[in-house]
Amino acid sequence: MAIADSAVEVRASGWRTLAALHGRIETALERELVRRHEVSVVEFTVLDALSRQDGWHMRMSQLARAAALSSSATTRLVNRLEDRGLLTRILCEDDRRGIYTELTEQGWALYREAAPTHDEVLEESLRNAGDVPELASLVDFLHHAPTGGRSAEARPASVQPGPF
């Protein structure tokens, strides 16, 4: 059964709106994270994903999914972050083929420094996008969407120093 043309257009319009909002936010985040902390959006995404792990580390495949990157792009990114002293790789004790990545003390420090900038720029970008008629309904939805049990106020508590 094919989707009616009007339903396809609604989905396509929604996708274009989402892509436009994402582009605005990502551009603002990239500009400020690089300017203030010398870390790109994707690098911050990796630091953020690692900071949220109970065991303080992730398999490379999990990290690739979290950063929405291919495995080869993830490897290159992890290599760069490891060269900067922000990440370290460790072998999985249960499966020697498995490699975990975790934040170093320097990685935690950069994450704690950059997280408030990320949150500030995200909120400002959403506020500004809310003034754009084409984006306003999506921004309103995002402000009222369920948080999965995690409120924005809980974010600073998650930025703990880790095992260091």
Collapse the DSSP code of 88 into the 3-class scheme (helix H, G, I; strand E, B; otherwise coil) and give the result: strand
Residue by residue, pLDDT tens for the chain (164 residues) are 555 678 888 889 999 999 999 999 999 999 999 999 999 999 999 999 999 887 667 888 889 999 999 999 999 999 999 999 999 988 877 766 678 899 999 999 999 999 999 999 999 999 999 999 999 999 999 988 887 654 444 444 444 544 44
pLDDT of residue 152: 42
Which residue from 160, 68, 79, 155 is spatially nearest to 117, judged by alpha carbons? 155
Collapse the DSSP code of 130 into the 3-class scheme (helix H, G, I; strand E, B; otherwise coil) and give the result: coil
Widest distance between CA atoms in the chain:
56
pLDDT of residue 76: 95
Q: Are 75 and 32 in contact (CB under 8 A)?
A: no
pLDDT of residue 20: 96
* Topology (CATH) of 10-158: Arc Repressor Mutant, subunit A (1.10.10)
Would you tell me the crossing angle of helices 60-67 and 41-51 to the nearest 10 degrees?
A: 130
Q: Are 108 and 46 in contact (CB under 8 A)?
A: no
